[in-house]
A and B are shown apart, each in its own frame.
Chain A
Amino acid sequence: MNTFKRKLDDNKFVITVELLPPKGTDVSALMEKARMLQGAVDAINVTDNQRASMRLGSLAVCRLLKERGHETVLQMTCRDRNRIALQSDLLSASALGIENILILSGDHPRNSENRGAKPVYDLDTVQLISAARLLEQGVDMAGKKLEGKPCFNIGAVVNPASDNADLQIMMMEKKASAGAVFFQTQPVFDIDQYSIFAGRIKHIPAKIIPGVALLKSASFVNFLRSIPGITIPDEVARRVEAAPDQLKEGIAICAETIRELKKISHGVHIMAIGMEAHIPEILSRID
Chain B
Amino acid sequence: MIITTQKPFPEILELLSRHKNIFIVGCAACATKCRTGGEEAVNLMAAELEKEGKTISGRKILDTPCDIRVARKDLKEIAACADDAVLVLACGAGVQAVEKAVSLVVYPALNPVFTGTTERIGLYHEYCSLCGDCILGKTGGICPVTRCAKGLVNGPCGGAVSGKCEVDRDNDCAWILIAEKIKNNPSDKNILKIFVPARTVVKPGRITPPVKK
Interface centre among B157, B163, B166, B196, by most A CB within 10 Å?
B157
Which of B22-30, B72-80, B144-152 is the interface stretch? Answer: B144-152
Residues B193 and A170 in contact, CB atoms below 8 Å apart:
yes
**Taking the complex as formed, is A121 at the interface, i.e. its CB lies under 8 A from any CB of chain B?**
yes
Q: Which residues 116-143 of A have a CB within 8 angstroms of B?
A: 119, 121-127, 130-131, 141
Which residue on chain A has the smallest CB distance to residue B151? A121
Interface centre among A110, A122, A168, A228, by most B CB within 10 Å?
A228
The interface size of chain B toward A, counting residues with CB under 8 Å, comes to 27
Contact of A105 among B152, B162, B163, B195 (CB under 8 A): B152
A174: chain B residues within 8 A (beta carbon): 154-155, 193, 195
- Measured CA separation A105–B152 after assembly (Å): 9
Which residue on chain B has the smallest CB distance to residue A79? B150
Looking at chain A's contact residues, is the secondary structure mostly helix, strand, loop, or mixed? mixed
- Measured CA separation A130–B153 after assembly (Å): 14
**Taking the complex as formed, is B58 at the interface, i.e. its CB lies under 8 A from any CB of chain A?**
no
A125: chain B residues within 8 A (beta carbon): 152, 154, 157
**Taking the complex as formed, is A266 at the interface, i.e. its CB lies under 8 A from any CB of chain B?**
no
A83: chain B residues within 8 A (beta carbon): 198
**Taking the complex as formed, is A252 at the interface, i.e. its CB lies under 8 A from any CB of chain B?**
no
Which residue on chain B has the smallest CB distance to residue A105? B157
Residues A228 and B193 in contact, CB atoms below 8 Å apart:
no
The minimal Cβ–Cβ distance linking A195 to chain B, given in whole angstroms, is 18
Residues B197 and A127 in contact, CB atoms below 8 Å apart:
yes
Residues A124 and B150 in contact, CB atoms below 8 Å apart:
yes
**Taking the complex as formed, is B128 at the interface, i.e. its CB lies under 8 A from any CB of chain A?**
no
B167: chain A residues within 8 A (beta carbon): 108, 110-111
Contact of B179 among A121, A157, A166, A177 (CB under 8 A): A166
Which residue on chain A has the smallest CB distance to residue B178? A167
Residues A130 and B149 in contact, CB atoms below 8 Å apart:
no
Interface centre among A79, A111, A141, A164, by most B CB within 10 Å?
A164
**Taking the complex as formed, is A162 at the interface, i.e. its CB lies under 8 A from any CB of chain B?**
yes
Q: Which residues 81-139 of A have a CB within 8 angstroms of B?
A: 83, 105-106, 108, 110-111, 119, 121-127, 130-131
A108: chain B residues within 8 A (beta carbon): 149-150, 166-167
Fill in one digit per residue for A195-206: 1 if any B CB lies within 8 Å of its CB, else 0: 000000000000
The minimal Cβ–Cβ distance linking B98 to chain A, given in whole angstroms, is 28
- Measured CA separation A203–B71 after assembly (Å): 63
- Measured CA separation A124–B155 after assembly (Å): 9
Contact of A229 among B158, B162, B179, B195 (CB under 8 A): B158
- Measured CA separation A110–B161 after assembly (Å): 17
**Taking the complex as formed, is B192 at the interface, i.e. its CB lies under 8 A from any CB of chain A?**
yes
Fill in one digit per residue for B127-156: 1 if any A CB lies within 8 Å of its CB, else 0: 000000000000000000000011111111
Fill in one digit per residue for B75-112: 1 if any A CB lies within 8 Å of its CB, else 0: 00000000000000000000000000000000000000
**Taking the complex as formed, is A171 at the interface, i.e. its CB lies under 8 A from any CB of chain B?**
yes
The minimal Cβ–Cβ distance linking B154 to chain A, given in whole angstroms, is 4
- Measured CA separation A168–B152 after assembly (Å): 14
**Taking the complex as formed, is B11 at the interface, i.e. its CB lies under 8 A from any CB of chain A?**
no
Residues B149 and A126 in contact, CB atoms below 8 Å apart:
no
Q: Which residues 147-203 of A have a CB within 8 angstroms of B?
A: 157-159, 162-164, 166-168, 170-171, 173-174, 177-178, 186
Fill in one digit per residue for B59-74: 1 if any A CB lies within 8 Å of its CB, else 0: 0000000000000000
B residues lining the A interface (CB < 8 Å): 149-163, 166-168, 175-176, 179, 192-193, 195-198
Identify the 6 closest CB pairs spanning chains A and B, nearest first.
A159-B158, A228-B166, A228-B159, A126-B154, A108-B167, A229-B159
**21 interchain pairs, CB-CB under 8 A:** A106-B150, A108-B166, A110-B168, A121-B151, A124-B150, A124-B151, A125-B157, A126-B154, A126-B195, A127-B153, A131-B198, A157-B158, A159-B159, A162-B160, A163-B161, A168-B156, A170-B192, A171-B155, A171-B156, A228-B159, A228-B160
